[in-house]
Amino acid sequence: FVNVFTFSLTFFAVIIAFATMKSMGEAGEGHLKERHHVVGLALLLLVTVQTANGFLRPPREYVNEDDDTNTEMADSVVGGRKSATPRNIWYLCHSLNGLVLFCLGTWQVMSGLNIFSLRFATANWSSVYFGYILWVVVVFVGVKFWLKYKERQVKLQAWRHGGVHDPENDMAPVQYE
C-alpha cells in the first residue's frame, strides 16, 4: 500500500500545483506553453490510468477439467498463440501503457535537463542521463534473456529425464553449472 499512498500524495500535490500555478512564476512565462509541460501533464494522466488499471486487473481464468487441458489456465498459449481473455487484454494494455510511460518519462527528464541548462547556463547532463537509461535497458533485456534461457534449460532437462515440468509451479529445480 506504500505505492498507493505515494501515488495519491503525488497526485494531490500536482492538483494543488495546478490550482496555484496562475499566482506563481514570471508574468510572461505562461504555463503549458512548452512541450515539456504538456508531456508532464500527459504523464500524470497516464500514471493515473496505469494505477487505476492495476486495481482493475481481472482474475485468472481456469479451463474446466473436461477440456483435455488438465486445468491449465485459459490465458496460456492455445494453438501457438495467446487466447484473447480479459486478463490477457488487460496485461497487454497495462504493459503498453507502462512502456509508453517509461519512454515519455525518459524524454521528460531529458527535456527538463535541457531546459534547466538553458535557463541557468549550466552543463547539459541529458546525454549522460540517456546513456544511463540505455545501460539500464540493456541490463534489463540481458537479464530477461538469461532468465528465459535458464527456464528453457529446466524444461529441457525435465523432458530429457522423463520428468514433467509443472507450468503452475515456478519452483522448478534449477541447477547451475
- In sequence order, what are the residues at sequence separation of 6 or more whose Cβ sits closer than 8 angstroms to the Cβ of residue 5? none
Helices 86-120 and 35-55, interaxial angle, to 10°?
A: 150
What string of pLDDT tens digits covers the 177 residues of the chain?
A: 787 787 788 778 777 877 776 665 565 566 678 899 889 889 988 988 888 888 888 888 775 555 444 444 544 555 556 678 888 899 999 999 999 999 999 999 999 999 999 989 999 999 999 999 999 999 999 999 999 999 998 888 877 776 655 555 555 555 555
User: Is the entire prediction scored with pTM above 0.75?
Assistant: no
Cα separation, 79 vs 100, in Å, equals 30
Count the helix, strand and coil residues of the chain and give each as a percent rounded to the nearest 5. Answer: 65, 5, 30
pLDDT digits (tens, 9 = 90+) for 18-64: 777 666 556 556 667 889 988 988 998 898 888 888 888 888 877 55
Cα separation, 98 vs 49, in Å, equals 10
